[in-house]
């Protein structure tokens, strides 16, 4: 074992029992596989979709490739930000998210952009909620790590109250003003997961859960379209023509795929039957093309990707970075579950993209940024006891290997 001084970057913040090593390349491999699957689906339905909208044949695939290229650049940047500088991004991110949200709320609603969710500039558009996700991620990780370090994680005034205020503000802005219940759900999932992993007492979590259930009903019942979605979800076949149309067409796409699928070039539902075939409904089109075997394979691939994230969480160098990975896992897994769940009739429809797979620049770029962050963190492992992470009997359970590789050759006492 070489002394730590021999490697300048063996720890990122001078923490104890820390070790720098190769990052988790399997994370990149899994992401790339998912991106390629998404590209193949978008590529195969691109000409048909383009024809319906009078666009050039390669319009969709070109835009998607551009997004992946941009996303890769963002990935490389985020993957190389020094982790100890990350907390300094908190303020610019919050200001950026706030500004973007104000602009989105100020811009008028058009037929193409039917809610105050997007900021548009020079032909490009961006959902402001993606910036909110990033800001929430960094701020909350720093906030919770700080509270844990100071021993205030179950303090009502210092911890619980600010969380409720943030929850309230996000709820009003995203769920009410932007009418984006799906994204609000993702933000809530991130918050709960991070608070949960940070070690907030269970009774507080139950309290937050109660508040959320109450506000869900408060937010759902006054809006006719949301009531429709819930009743549609409960009984989709009843109204296949109007409000249940997309749900019905999604089930038809999935069900008609069969065991082996219709084949890459033989999707029918993408041609005008299933709305949002390239975006929110892309899983149903994928299922129609590749059948049960392909769908199960895709879900397995997502599960493997999330397993990587879980492993990195377990080995994270400190609580701040662990909470960042927690937030990313909550973010991506919630979107995946909400999206696929809606397509197979287990959850109501929400306008939410499937990470990696769905067509759409915003989604791809921000997902790759998140993966870049996790990739960055995967360079470090903390082993042995660490007061910030686990204490007591838990500490002994901490893995002594770095993510995805064999055991270290030596072990520090």
The binder of another protein chosen from 15, 341, 361, 404 (CB under 8 A): 341
User: Which residues in 182-211 contact another protein (CB under 8 A)?
Assistant: 193, 196-199, 201
Rounded Cα–Cα distance for residues 167 and 136 (Å): 10
Token couple for 375: 């990739």
Segment lying near another protein (by CB under 8 A), choices 60-68, 119-127, 215-223, 267-275:
267-275
The binder of another protein chosen from 7, 22, 91, 266 (CB under 8 A): 266
Q: Which residues are bridge partners to 390 per DSSP?
A: 386
Q: Is 17 exposed, middle or buried (0-12, 13-18, 19+ CB in 10 A)?
A: middle
User: Which residues in 100-119 contact another protein (CB under 8 A)?
Assistant: none
DSSP annotation string for 93-150: HHHHHHHHHHHHHHSPP-SSS-STTEEEETTEEEEHHHHHHHHHHHHHHHHHHHHHHT
Site for another protein contains 327 (CB under 8 A) = no
- Read off the DSSP letter of residue 207: H
Cα–Cα distance list, 238 to 223, 231, 235, 269, 407 (Å): 20, 10, 6, 20, 56
User: Among residues 6 and 241, whose Cβ is nearest to another protein?
Assistant: 241
Site for another protein contains 321 (CB under 8 A) = no
Q: Is 129 exposed, middle or buried (0-12, 13-18, 19+ CB in 10 A)?
A: buried
User: Among residues 174 and 323, whose Cβ is nearest to another protein?
Assistant: 323
Site for another protein contains 258 (CB under 8 A) = yes
Site for another protein contains 385 (CB under 8 A) = yes
Binding residues for another protein, how many (CB under 8 A)?
Answer: 64
Site for another protein contains 273 (CB under 8 A) = yes
Q: Which residues contact another protein (rule: CB under 8 A)?
A: 16, 48, 52, 54, 148, 150-151, 154, 193, 196-199, 201, 251-259, 265-266, 268-269, 271-273, 287, 291-292, 295-296, 299-300, 302-303, 306-307, 310, 313-314, 322, 326, 333, 337, 340-341, 344-346, 385-387, 389-394, 397-398
């Amino acid at each position: 074992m070489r002394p730590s001084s021999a490697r300048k970057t063996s720890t990122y913040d001078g923490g104890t029992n820390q070790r720098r090593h190769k990052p988790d390349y399997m994370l990149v491999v899994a992401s790339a596989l998912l991106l390629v699957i998404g590209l193949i689906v978008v590529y195969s339905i691109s000409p048909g979709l383009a024809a319906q909208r009078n666009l050039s044949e390669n319009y969709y695939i070109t835009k998607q490739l551009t997004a992946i290229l941009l996303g890769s650049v963002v990935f490389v940047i985020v993957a190389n930000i020094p982790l100890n500088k990350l907390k300094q991004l908190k303020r610019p991110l919050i200001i950026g998210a706030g500004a973007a949200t104000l602009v989105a709320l100020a811009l008028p609603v058009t037929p193409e952009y039917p809610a105050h969710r997007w900021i548009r500039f020079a032909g490009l558009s961006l959902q402001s909620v993606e910036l909110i996700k990033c800001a929430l991620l960094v701020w909350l990780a720093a906030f919770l790590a700080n509270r844990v370090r100071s021993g205030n994680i179950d303090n009502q005034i210092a911890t619980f109250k600010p969380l409720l205020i943030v929850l309230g503000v996000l709820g009003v802005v995203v769920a009410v003003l932007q009418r984006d219940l799906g994204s609000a759900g993702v933000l809530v999932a991130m918050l709960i997961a991070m608070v949960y992993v940070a070690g907030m007492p269970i009774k507080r979590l139950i309290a937050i859960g109660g508040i959320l259930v109450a506000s869900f009903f408060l937010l759902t019942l006054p809006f006719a379209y949301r009531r429709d979605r819930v009743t549609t979800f409960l009984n989709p076949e009843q109204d296949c023509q109007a409000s249940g149309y997309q749900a019905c067409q999604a089930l038809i796409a999935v069900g008609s795929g069969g065991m082996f699928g219709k084949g890459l070039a033989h999707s029918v539902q993408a041609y005008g039957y299933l709305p949002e075939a390239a975006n929110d409904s892309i899983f149903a089109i994928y299922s129609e093309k590749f059948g049960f075997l392909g769908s199960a394979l895709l879900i397995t691939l997502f599960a493997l990707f999330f397993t990587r994230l879980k492993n990195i969480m377990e080995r994270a160098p400190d609580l701040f970075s662990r909470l960042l990975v927690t937030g990313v896992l909550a973010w991506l897994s919630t979107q995946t579950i909400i999206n696929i769940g809606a397509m197979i009739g287990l959850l109501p429809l929400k306008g939410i993209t499937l990470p990696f797979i769905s067509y759409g620049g915003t989604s791809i770029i921000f997902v790759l940024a998140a993966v870049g962050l996790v990739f960055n963190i995967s360079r470090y492992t903390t082993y042995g006891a660490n007061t910030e992470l686990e204490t007591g009997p838990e500490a002994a359970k901490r893995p002594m290997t770095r993510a995805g590789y064999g055991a270290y050759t030596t072990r520090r006492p």
